[in-house]
Amino acid sequence: MALCICSKAGSTTVATDPIRTRPDNFELRSIDLEPVVAETPLPALRAWLTPTPLFYIRNHFDVPELDVDDWSLTIEGAVDTPVKLDYSTLVRLPKKTLSAMLECAGNNRSDLSPKVPGNPFQDGAVSNAIWGGAPLKPFLQQAGLSPKAVEVLFEGVDEGSPVPGGKTVKYQRSLPLQVALHPDTLLVYEMNGETLSPDHGFPVRLIVPRWYGMASVKWLTSIRVLEAPFVGFFQTDRYVIEDDAGIEQQLAQMQVKSFVSWPEHETSLPIGQPIAVSGMAWSGTGPIRRVDVSIDGGDTWQDAHMDESSLGYSWQEWHIDWTPAEAGHYTVVVRAVDEAGNLQPAETRWNPLGYSINGIRAVCIDVV
């Protein structure tokens, strides 16, 4: 269990509005500038929908400059008839919208001990948006898939050297054929009702619901159907993790996970005042079935109330109402269970690349 390790919460003043659960004016927390990497501030994670300017950014190379008049997407490889699609054709097709959250595979990497290389994300490499675009499946069917097809490779126009002194490569990721053919795997051109911004893949990106964000390739220009599994840097050198048997596996669906967004760690709260202890929960293998909350470091648990209005592939809002009757130091922990019965673990299994971090995290508060 992730128990409290601090002796006293560090806030010097009592929170003025302990029941507030929506963001005010905040900015992305910058991790790197070349390429741009930034995470969503915790106050913005109290809202079901993440505003586009506060949606986390994980770029591998510099943002390319693209013009919709020059952009096109090709579908080729193991197909009967290659397909070429331009932007004006794509946006004239019937639009499908869905809500879907994305989480970087390295979210919460800074929690690991001993430390590992990579972007030191805290809580904010995760966000939720409403996406608009066209399903990929009809275009693959139009191309005519080879009976031997096993994967579909997606390539962005962004490129660079992923390691110092290494060769220049484009960002490429493949999906199993059945995932590429899922009706909710989308070619997206809108985010939260507006045209995609450059940092989020303008003019067109892929959205793969319930998979870690590395699968949702940005600045998409090429799709290739493959008859053999793809081998590439971002497929087999990165975004891989050893399983319990020590066998290296490629990352895919997000792990079951939850976090506390209010109160924040090391906050002081007033005695006797009602508090909405709240946060989010999600899983890549299905909807969340239950969220358990403890205010005593895991000694006792209670079921959280869950917002039943969540749609699509978004995260699940949860909360408990708590009125602290006694002053003291409290350790709040939360764990989620998904529809498949997967229970969020007490601790993350350490791995050298710092991926798939979903252990229970403690939030320490003082009631004064």
Position 26 scores a pLDDT of: 78
The whole-number average pLDDT for the span 224-241 is 97
Position 7 scores a pLDDT of: 54
pTM score, whole prediction: 0.93
Instruction: Summarize pLDDT for 165-179 with one digit per residue, the tens.
Output: 899 999 999 999 999
The pLDDT-based confidence of 245 (bands split at 50, 70, 90) is confident
Tell me the pLDDT of the chain averaged across its residues.
93
Domain with CATH 3.90.420.10 in the chain: 49-250
* Alpha-carbon span 261 to 363, nearest angstrom: 9
* Nearest residue to 144 via CA among 74, 80, 85, 82: 80
The pLDDT-based confidence of 9 (bands split at 50, 70, 90) is very low
CATH 3.40.50.10540 describes domain 49-250: no
Domain with CATH 2.60.40.650 in the chain: 254-367
Look at residue 13 and tell me whether its pLDDT is greater than 50.
no
Look at residue 22 and tell me whether its pLDDT is greater than 50.
no
CA 148 to chain centre: 32
Return the bridge partners of 290, or none: 337
The pLDDT-based confidence of 17 (bands split at 50, 70, 90) is very low
Query: Residue 274 belongs to what H/E stretch?
Result: none
Joined together, the tokens standing for residue 348 give: 């993350």
CATH for the stretch 254-367: 2.60.40.650
Phi, psi of 89 (to 5 degrees): -65, -45
Instruction: Summarize pLDDT for 279-319 with one digit per residue, the tens.
Output: 999 999 999 999 999 999 999 999 999 987 667 899 999 99
Joined together, the tokens standing for residue 319 give: 């909360």
User: What is the share, in percent, of the chain residues with pLDDT greater than 90?
Assistant: 89
Joined together, the tokens standing for residue 360 give: 């229970």
Rounded (to 5) percent helix, strand, coil in the chain: 10, 40, 50
User: What is the share, in percent, of the chain residues with pLDDT greater than 70?
Assistant: 93
* Nearest residue to 212 via CA among 192, 241, 191, 183: 241
Contact 361, 107 (CB under 8 A): no
Contact 152, 174 (CB under 8 A): yes
Residue 289 burial (C-beta neighbours within 10 Å; 0-12, 13-18, 19+): middle
